[in-house]
Structures are given as structure tokens and as C-alpha cells.
Amino acid sequence: MFKRLWRRGCHMNNFEMFLIAHLIGDFLLQNNWMALNKTKKTTPLIVHAYLYSFCMLAFFPTMGPYRFFSVFFLHALIDMFSLADKWLRLIRGRSFESVDKQQNWEEHKWERQTWATHHLMQKQAPVYRDTSIYISFT
């Protein structure tokens, strides 16, 4: 379906088609009912995994039934156990804790600079005695 449109002039590689299919299937076609209940109930999970797999099939029409059901099964597995969230926590990606720490770090930047300046100014600069020899040729 989409391949015919792209053959006419809009050329996309497989990664770009996968990314668009993923964004449409995982975000655009997923409503609140699916998003909030897919980890608790099987019906929203199956509907969401089917829509996601159908999106992949629309972008990759030569996918075949085995790949369709493998995409369906793997996506259902990932969403059922919230594996994406666990992975992001493991690698410390997209978490609100890191955003909060960054905001806290930025808010107290002036205090850190003031503290550092104050404590650095308290210490005396080292005094070096002049031990050079002056030779004058007059």
C-alpha cells in the first residue's frame, strides 16, 4: 500500500519506514484505554499489539505471517511486562529523576559559585621570595 506511493518519488530506507510505522503504531493509534490498561488486562494489550503489527504490515507488505505474528508476540511481551520502562531505568535513560536532578543542579548553580568564590578568597595566595640574582653591567 505505502510502497506504491514511495516508488513514485519519495524514497525511504527500511529504517525510516520502520520508524514511521513504529511511531504511528505505538503512539498515534494507541488511545488512553490501551495505554493505561495494557499492563493490567489482556484485551487492550491484544488490540494494541494487533494495531502495532498491522502498522508494520502496512509499511512492510512482504513481511509474511510468521514475521507478523513474531512482531505481534514480541510487542505484546514488551508491553505486558513494561520491559521498555525497565530497560530505560537500567540504562538511566528517560527518567524524571535525572531531569529533577538537572533542574536542582541548575537552580543551585549560583550558590555553588558563591560558596566556591568565598572559600577560595579566604585562602592566601602563596608568597614566593624573590631569589633571583640581578647582574648589572654598567
Task: Report which of 63, 46, 58 is spatially closest to residue 22, judged by C-alpha positions.
Answer: 58
The predicted pLDDT at position 22 comes to 95
Tell me which DSSP letter residue 130 carries. Answer: -
> Alpha-carbon torsion 66, 67, 70, 75, what sign?
negative
Which residue would you say has higher pLDDT here, 89 or 1?
89
Average pLDDT over residues 57-79: 94
pLDDT tens across 26-56, in order?
999 999 999 999 999 999 999 999 999 999 9
What residues have CB less than 8 Å from 95, skipping those under 6 apart?
88, 89
Q: Which residue has the cell 530497560?
A: 87
